[in-house]
Chain A
Amino acid sequence: MFREKYHRMNEQISPDQELVNKIIHSVDEPKRETNKAKYFFRRPITIVAMLMVLVLTATPVLAANVPAVYKLMYFVSPTVAQFFIPVQKSCEDNGIRMEVVSSYIHDDTAEIYITMQDLIGDRIDETTDLYDSYSINRPFDSSATCQRVGYDKTTKKETFLISIKEWGNKKIIGDKISFSVREFLSGKHEYNEIPMAIDLTNINNTQAIKLVSIKGGSGPKFKEYVPNFESKVKVLVPSAPMDFPVKGIDFTGIGYVDGMLHIQTSVVDNLTKDNHGYFFLSDKNENKIQCAYSVGFAENSDSANRVDFDEYVFDIPQAEIGQYSLYGTFATSGLFTEGNWQVTFPLEEIKNN
């Protein structure tokens, strides 16, 4: 099991006693503390000074011919935006263009701006999520991240910033990398605190139940009702989907089990949607009551017909439930787009004069 192996591995990781002692004794040495901290996050004045030196010694190539992205770059990090050099390599598939706009390579770190634009429709929007389908292939050991930066409504371009840091503090200039995307989600829709048209006074307390292995859970009483993740948990037997105001989430059960209100929703093939949410009760004074705990479980988990269930359990006696109203907050993704977008480009440094 992963949990046990991960535990065993971590048990072997500890800070050096010397390091621990250094911290404990550092309260008596304020000067050393300040100096050490400075190594990590350097003061703004130092950054400004270093930038001035860099500005005077390097020739930044401005990405002036990509104004929208350039604006975003300034928004994210105005001090370094001018150090990015244009790349402008692109590819198209399924009517969507992916372009590597610019990059900034310094020592062992590469920062790369990439845009995605729908040439035939509106599948790219401000909610576009690459959904972990991106990959960054590079011929060196490194860590890489990709974050969404912003959306330009005029050009319908979504901009992403990729950051790559090579392990071992080696320079990465001269290497080539490939950035590829297989799929993305967009058209996200949020439902905030919407009322549920459910008569809570008329809930069945003889609902069929079953025991399942859970894949996760949360809530203030979660540990009380689910002592460990290996234990089986009582849930409602899912019914056929009932009326529900959220498209993309099925309402598959409500009932009292052992004196607690269970509410169940499910999503078919959620790995291509990432639809999720939660319920809460509201009393007459509009006080919100969150569920005591919730659990998640799956059916057909290894097949294409995978269904992910969430069950929310409220600790309100059935005799009192009429005093409450049920609300929910949900987020769904309307579009799942697949394609094959890949751009390979060299990591080049700004040339000095």
Chain B
Amino acid sequence: MEQQSLRMNDCLENVVKEYSKMVYRLAFSQTRNKSDADDIFQEVFYRYIRKKPQFKTEEHRKAWLIRVTVNCCKKMWTSIWIGKKLSLIVQKDEPIVFKMKEETNLHYELQKLPMKYRAVIHLFYYEDLSIEEISKALNQKPSTIRTQLTRARYKLKEILKEDYDV
């Protein structure tokens, strides 16, 4: 028997509206380009539609979407077919325009941050998740997340120098 969701807002439209920015920004934080973020965004929600996952709480839904987004980014990156994929679909790279120059600069500086740290930095600094919450969402030990965060901050300090207090 199919498990019934306890939530009222399982309607796809509500879920997409509620989490579209979170998924997209997390994807963008890792790819740092719009066309890849578009692909990840679509893949995450197509998986959601296909799998029809049931959640007891919104926290579980959010964690699922975070985990799938990060996994899709990893898969895109590690896929040996990435070159083939890029040649098969029409390229639509559009440089993202930020209001302030320092935001554009920050965007470019963040491209220097190793891929493996981008998700923890985003979830910690933008989604305001604790190490515990990140570890649950990414299915990793809190100690691993803490180590990644410490190393990521250290890297960020190197990259951003004294421009920002990380």
Contact = CB atoms under 8 A, between A and B. Distances in A.
Interface string A5-29: 1111110111110011011101100
Contacts of B43: 37, 40-41
Interface string A101-137: 0000011110100000000000000000000100000
B80 A77 contact: yes
B76 A13 contact: no
B20 interface: yes
B132 interface: yes
B115 A143 contact: yes
A60 interface: no
Interface residues of A, number: 63
B140 interface: no
Categorize the interface residue count of chain B. 35 or more
A276 B147 contact: yes
Contacts, number: 173
Contact of B142 (A27, A39, A143, A278): A278
Contact of A5 (B29, B72, B106): B106
Given A40-B39, A163-B77, A169-B86, A220 B132 contact: yes
Given A169-B87, A218-B130, A39 B106 contact: no
Considering residues B24, B86, B130, B135, which has the most beta carbons from chain A within 10 angstroms of its beta carbon? B130
A150 interface: no
Interface string B141-166: 01101110111011110001000111
Nearest to B28: A13
A97 B149 CA distance: 31
Interface string A233-250: 000000000000000000
Given A9-B107, A24-B16, A42-B84, 14 more contacts: A12-B103, A14-B24, A15-B24, A23-B46, A37-B43, A39-B88, A40-B76, A80-B80, A169-B83, A216-B131, A218-B142, A219-B130, A271-B154, A331-B143
Interface of A: 1-3, 5-10, 12-16, 19-20, 22-24, 26-27, 33, 36-37, 39-42, 47, 50, 77, 80, 106-109, 111, 132, 141, 143, 145, 163, 165, 167-169, 215-220, 222-223, 271, 274, 276-278, 296, 308, 329, 331
